[in-house]
Every structure is written in structure tokens, then in C-alpha cells.
Structure 1
Amino acid sequence: MPEEPGGSGLPGEPRRGSLVRGLLRLVRPFQWPKNAVVLVLPLLASGASPWPAVAGALPVLVLFVLASSATYVVNDLADRERDRRHPVKRHRPIASGAVPVPVAIVLGAVLYLALLAGSAAAGAAAVPVLVYAVTNILYSFVLKHVSVVDVFVIATGFVLRVCAGAMAASVPISSWFLLCVFSVCILLGFGKRRHELTSVQGGPSELHRPALRAYSVPFLNSMVTFAASVTVLAYVSFLQSDAAAGGMRQLRILLSTPLAVFAIARYLQILLVSEGGGEPTRTLFTDRTMLAVGGLWLTGFGLLLAVQSW
């Protein structure tokens, strides 16, 4: 059951336990794994011994956790009135009253101060993090209401993660990998918009997300198909590039490309046939088929890495 705001006998005063749970829900810890994309290029571009590069990128990973958590706080503050009219989002901590607005403002300020302090210590690698933070403040108040721009801003956030991880680890930034990340995020973003549009057509969806007024199902179907095609092309091109070079280059392409294509096909099936995909993160981490494909990809990558270092 969704957590309902409670009190200690006084209206509007949440219990301490409820407040702590609300604060935790507010920063969306289940979304933190998204930031692991920071570590992908250090893992792929560092040859047989990637761990020093991965260790170098870990501080930037922490900064992105802080930045994304602060973004969720700002977003929920900006959307609290619309969220209260939404059948699901009305249970969000601020909209439901589990976290009072002043407490949320203090939490957001603390997160941004921690981000600034950490960025000062991280040096140039923190620049993409700060660009991400500023862009997402604009997104929360303005850009999320502009169709197409809303999805492109989200995708750009993941490109910034990749760039920051590569800069922190001092590894080359692959343009093909950036395109792959950008296009797969476009795929997931337009997929989410399609689910929102189809699941609440005829309802109050436009009141909650004004950008939906400029979308249509045929347009979104075209965009997810286009983005899926670009993703596969960019992925294979990245595997063929110098950034993913190594004695196992052709074997990487042979083994991993079918898995990547299958994963995209499975997501399209969930989106277009099962009318799912409303929460891409939950879909990727709860669908058994997607988990199996991801496990096979990780196993194959680990084996190839072990063979290279042997």
C-alpha cells in the first residue's frame, strides 16, 4: 500500500519515521543505478586492468548521485500541485504531505552544497556534473513542458555522465559510444512518453504533463523505431572502433550484438505489444527476460576481460 502521511495527533505533522521514509523516497534511491553509466567507458576502454580507471571515476559517480537526488527534490517541489491531481504521483512524499515543503527545500539546499563542495575537489571532471545540475533545474521548471526537448534533455544528462566518467578516469571519449547512449536514452524517453499518452488518453494527462499535448502515438512509434535503429548502429560501430579495441574485437561483436538487438526487441515488445514501459528503470530491472539478457552480456564481457588479462 502507498505510504500515507501520518501525524502525532496534530494535523499535517508527520511522524518522525514517516518523515525519514519520505525523505528517502524523495531522493529516489532506486534510480541511483542509472548513474553507473559513469563507469562504463573506464571499464571498456582500460584494457585488461580497468580497476584503477574505475576507481578514478568513483568520485564522479558519487557527485552524480548527489546531483540527481537534488534534481528529484527540485522536480517534486515544482510539480507538487500537479502531482496532487495525479492518481499515482499524488503519493509522492511532497505531494502527499509526508515531507513538508520547508524540509524538502532544506534537503535540496544541503544536497547542492554537498555537490558544490565535492565538485571543487574533483576538478575539471566535475564540469559535466555541474552542467547536468543547472540543466535539470531548467528542466524542472521550463524545459520539461516543451515536447521533444524534454526527452533530449534527459538523454543529454546520460551523455554528460559518460563524459564525466571518462574525464575522471583519463580514458578516451568515444563519439560512437556517446551516440549509443544518447540514442538508447531517446528510445527509453519516447517510450515512456508513449506509455503516458496511451495509458491516460481521455483523462487528465495533459494537466499533469503539458508536453503531451504535442505528442501523438504514431509520432512516438516512429521515434522509438528510429532511436532503436540508431542505437544498434552506434553500438556495433563502437565495438569496431579503437575505443573498444583489443584482441577480442571481432568476438565482442559476434557475441554481444545479438544480445543487444534482442534486448531492444524485448523492450519494444513490452512497449508496443504489452503497453508497458512507463518506468524504464523498473522495466529493465524487473523484467526476467531483460535481466537474463543483461546477465548473459555481463558474463560474456567478464569472460572476455578475463581471457585478455590471462
Structure 2
Amino acid sequence: MPDPTTPTTGTGGPVGGTGTALLARRAPAPRPPARPGALAGTRGLLGGLVRTARPRQWVKNALVAAAPAAAGQLVSWPTAARLALVFALFTAAASAVYLVNDARDAGADRAHPVKRHRPVAAGLVPVPLAYTTGALLGLGAAVASALLCNAMTALLLTGYLAMQLAYCVRLKHVLVVDLAVVATGFLMRAMIGGIALGIPLSRWFLITTGFGALFMVAAKRYSEAVQMEDAQGATRALLTQYTTGYLRFVWQLAAGVAVLGYCLWALESGGAADGSLLPWRQLSVVAFILAVLRYAVFADRGTAGEPEDVVLRDRPLAVIGLVWAAMYGMAVVGL
């Protein structure tokens, strides 16, 4: 006779026996543990793609606001929204070029003490994936510019993509042309904002921007040549055909022309007849020249290989840039 104090189930067995087995059968099966290796691999791949797109260099695309700022047309929300769109499109186009470039240069980058850590060269991002992502970004930027912007903006962005892809394939191996193509890429950035908003572009603006870009590009090549003299051009074959003396001549010449163009542009408007307290536009020449001289310090040392690092990390240069921006802004608003 069973103990009356022992609870039973419908089957006559104790709860700890058959009842527990039934509950166990009804309980959902535990989920298999996630594979941390696969998750980490996916995150690493996405992170590698983002790094290949060069987020630090997206600051260069802020040049799209140069022409509207020079014309004093940065005060309305529609203007800001249009510039934000152009910035995003140019960032996608530039990222597409970086992805294709790194895919093509993966072998050479592995011989570079710094570039060998790039995701494609290090094997973190497969070369076919870099090509595919670059193609999708470039095509998307071109199509979006045609649908959302005016025809000239779409034409300029498409021309930028074509020129930069030609550079990746062939033009980077042609003396002088390689410098001109990279500098023209900066000039296109500065032009596209004005074209998107229908702002006429001053000849002095184009000269100053174009030769200012050539100054920075030649200084970068000079720094690379100085740092890689013992590597015999393993990472950039064309460096063996340039001499450091020639590259120094190029960046010095370009700096001089940029300063001359800026001076002519600033003096063209006359004195303070526009109602300003001081001739801010003319006074900004001093800050502009000081900025060029400060950047030339790094160029002369051969440490201007990463222009964005020089611009963003050198405090004196940042202060000079802020002073220039303040003077320029006061000239635009007529204070």
C-alpha cells in the first residue's frame, strides 16, 4: 500500500519520476551556442571594409562646401541639405576608388611597412569582395547623382570616378600625369558644391584650389620618396623615376602659384569699401601664407606623407586655419 503522504501523478507514479520525465519532454530544446569565431569574423570583415573606405580621409570631401562658402551661401537649410547630399555622394565615390585601388595594389602594399596593415593587403578583406563593394558604391553614387542632382553635378561625379579608375589602372604609372590626376581630384571636390548649387566659380578660386592641391600631393610624394629611398620603390614603382629634388621643386612651385592666386583673388575686391570695419579679405592673405609655410615645414622634413594627419593633428596649423576662417567669414558677412 503506498504511503498516503506521497503525491502521485495521473499515471500513479511519484512526481519525481514519470511526471518529471513528461515535463522534460515538453521543455524546449536548448539552443546551440553561437559560434563566436564566425561572428567575430563577420565583424572583422565589415570593419575591414570600412577601414578600406578610409573614414579619416572623408574630411577631404568637406571641400564640397568651399565654393558655397566663398560665395557666402551657407545660410539656408536647403543649401545645407544639398551640400550634405553631395558630400555623401562624393564620399561613396571616393570610397569606391579606395576599395578598387587597394585591391589592385594588395601585392605591392604588403612590401610597405605601414600599408601592409591595410585590410586587403593583410588578407582580412578578400580581393574579389573589395572589387565588388567598390563597384557597387561607385555605380550607386553615379546613379544617385543623376537622379537627385543636376546634370552637371552627375557629369562631374561620373568624370571623377572615370578619372580615378583610370589612375588606378594606368595613369598612376605616368610621370607628372599621376600628380595632376590626384590634384584634379581635389579640385573636383571643390568645384562640385558650387556646380550643385549653380554658383559661378571664380578663376582665382580654381587656380588657388588646384595648385594648393598640387602642393599637398607633391609634398606627399616627396615624403614617400624620402622615407622609401632604401626600398627602391617597392611600394610605388614611379617613385624610382622621380628624384627628391624634382618633387621638392614641384611642391615649392605649386605653393608659390597657390599663394599668388589667393593674393590676386583677395586684392581683386579692393579695400573695405563694402562696409566692413577692416579689409578682412585682404588680411586673410597673412593667415593663408602662414598656413602654407607651416605645412611646408612637414613637407621639408619628409613627414607630410599623410596630409590629413598633418592638418588634423598639428595644433599651430589648426589655430592658423581657425584665424583664417574667422577672417574669411567676416569678409563674407561684411563685418
Q: What TM-score comes out, normalization by structure 1 length?
A: 0.88
Question: Cα gap change, 1:45/1:9 in structure 2, threshold over 3 Å: closer, same or farther?
Answer: closer
In structure 2, how many angstroms separate the alpha carbons of the residues matched to 1:261 and 1:216?
A: 27
Contact 2:68 2:74 in 1 (8 A): no
Shift of 1:240: 3.5
Who is 1:239 aligned against?
266
Aligned residue pairs, count = 296
**1:194 paired to 2:222:** yes
Q: From 292, 295, 311, give the equivalent of 1:284.
A: 311
In structure 1, how many angstroms separate the alpha carbons of the residues matched to 2:108 and 2:40?
A: 21
Contact 1:48 1:305 in 2 (8 A): no
Question: Cα gap change, 1:17/1:221 in structure 2, threshold over 3 Å: closer, same or farther?
Answer: same
Who is 2:23 aligned against?
none
Q: What CA deviation, in whole Å up to 9, does each residue of 1:225-284 have, x standing for no partner?
A: 111110111112222346xx9544971333211111111111111221x33111111111
Contact 2:219 2:247 in 1 (8 A): yes
- Structure 1 gaps of 5+ residues are 1-6
- Structure 2 gaps of 5+ residues are 1-34
Question: Cα gap change, 1:161/1:250 in structure 2, threshold over 3 Å: closer, same or farther?
Answer: farther
Contact 1:239 1:249 in 2 (8 A): no
| Structure 1 range deviating more: 216-225 or 284-293 | 216-225
Who is 1:4 aligned against?
none
Who is 1:3 aligned against?
none
**1:174 paired to 2:209:** no
Who is 2:238 aligned against?
211
Who is 2:96 aligned against?
70
Q: What CA deviation, in whole Å up to 9, does each residue of 1:201-224 have, x standing for no partner?
A: 1224x1221111221121122111
Shift of 1:304: 4.1
Contact 1:26 1:72 in 2 (8 A): yes
Q: What CA deviation, in whole Å up to 9, does each residue of 1:92-116 have, x standing for no partner?
A: 1111011112322231122023212
Q: From 160, 168, 187, give the equivalent of 2:188.
A: 160
Letter in 1 for 2:286: P
Contact 2:112 2:234 in 1 (8 A): no
**1:120 paired to 2:146:** yes
Question: Cα gap change, 1:253/1:99 in structure 2, threshold over 3 Å: closer, same or farther?
Answer: same
| Structure 1 range deviating more: 297-306 or 213-222 | 297-306
Q: Secondary structure at the match of 1:69?
A: helix
Question: Cα gap change, 1:260/1:254 in structure 2, threshold over 3 Å: closer, same or farther?
Answer: same
Shift of 1:305: 4.3
**1:102 paired to 2:128:** yes
Identity of aligned residues (%): 35
Letter in 1 for 2:240: R
Q: What CA deviation, in whole Å up to 9, does each residue of 1:57-98 have, x standing for no partner?
A: 332222111110000001001101111121111111111011
Q: Rg larger in 1 or in 2? A: 2
Structure with larger RCO (C-alpha < 8 A, sep 6+): 1
Q: From 146, 157, 164, give the equivalent of 2:174.
A: 146
In structure 2, how many angstroms separate the alpha carbons of the residues matched to 1:258 and 1:145?
A: 38
**1:225 paired to 2:252:** yes
Q: Secondary structure at the match of 1:96?
A: coil
Question: Cα gap change, 1:252/1:265 in structure 2, threshold over 3 Å: closer, same or farther?
Answer: same
Shift of 1:117: 2.3
Shift of 1:294: 1.1
Letter in 2 for 1:119: S
Shift of 1:49: 4.3
In structure 2, how many angstroms separate the alpha carbons of the residues matched to 1:97 and 1:28?
A: 17
Shift of 1:19: 1.2
